[in-house]
Amino acid sequence: MYLSRIALNMARIGARQLAASPYKLHAAVEASFPPHAPRATDEGRILWRLDHNRQDHSVWLYVVSPSQPDLLHIVEQAGWPGYAEWETKDYTPFLDRLAQGQQWHYRVCANPVRNAATDLNLHNSLATFDKMKGSRQAYVTVRQQIDWFERRAAANGFSLPERDPVSGFDEQVKDPLLLSSVRVIDRQRHKFRDRKNQVTLSTAVFEGTLQVEDPQSLRHALCFGIGKAKGFGCGLMTLAPIMTP
């Protein structure tokens, strides 16, 4: 597996067009691999994520893939041709070092949704059930989105430690959201066209601290993604060392 990143030059119209359309960016990422290259293997699949850094206003495209990408066309369309290219690293050594008890800073853009059919009550008709079956509804509040993410932690090999109280006053807080180590740092509702339809995609970017509980399950999450809409830039989780003040 490989982890790549490339900086986008948002002063260029090509970069703004890619950033505005997950469908166009998906196509650009797909074009980074020859037709015969595997899109998914037993080790992982192609995932990507667009990061907006609020501190320095930089924009980075991250890609996880079974084979090395050639991102030259993205550099020429949306980067700094002749100045800055892209970085690609072998991801396997890092994945091999994951161990139970480690703590990492994480970031993931996800598509928090639920199956609409699960919310039907017994009074709904069979016709209504058939109409709704298979459809998905987005979680729209921060609390719903954090709950969605927390419910997926164990199955993906990690736990989410609660935030340490800053003072004795925090111990009186009744709202568990205020003590959660999960932060939603960005929420978007994207509307764009694919080949046939108008698509609406709700995303949330989660950030915080996790603890490794099952290294193999976490490795699977890092290489195969979390949740839905992976082709549209969701599901890619990255880990980084925890920075202490």
Sign of CA dihedral 1, 233, 60, 160: negative
pLDDT in tens, 9-30: 999 999 999 999 999 999 999 9
Whole-number average pLDDT of the chain: 86
What domains sit in the chain, N to C, each tagged with a CATH number?
Answer: 2-93 (3.30.70), 103-240 (3.30.70.1210)
Residue 147 has pLDDT above 60, yes or no: yes
pLDDT score at 86? 94
Percent of all residues in the chain with a pLDDT value above 70, rounded to a whole number: 84
What is the Cα–Cα distance from 131 to 12, expressed in whole angstroms? 44
pLDDT in tens, 78-131: 999 988 789 999 999 999 999 999 999 999 999 999 876 554 444 454 444 444
Closest CA to 38 of 62, 6, 63, 68: 68
What is the gyration radius of the CA atoms in the chain, in angstroms? Answer: 19
Residue 176 has pLDDT above 60, yes or no: no
What is the Cα–Cα distance from 49 to 5, expressed in whole angstroms? 9
Residue 174 has pLDDT above 50, yes or no: no
pLDDT score at 3? 98
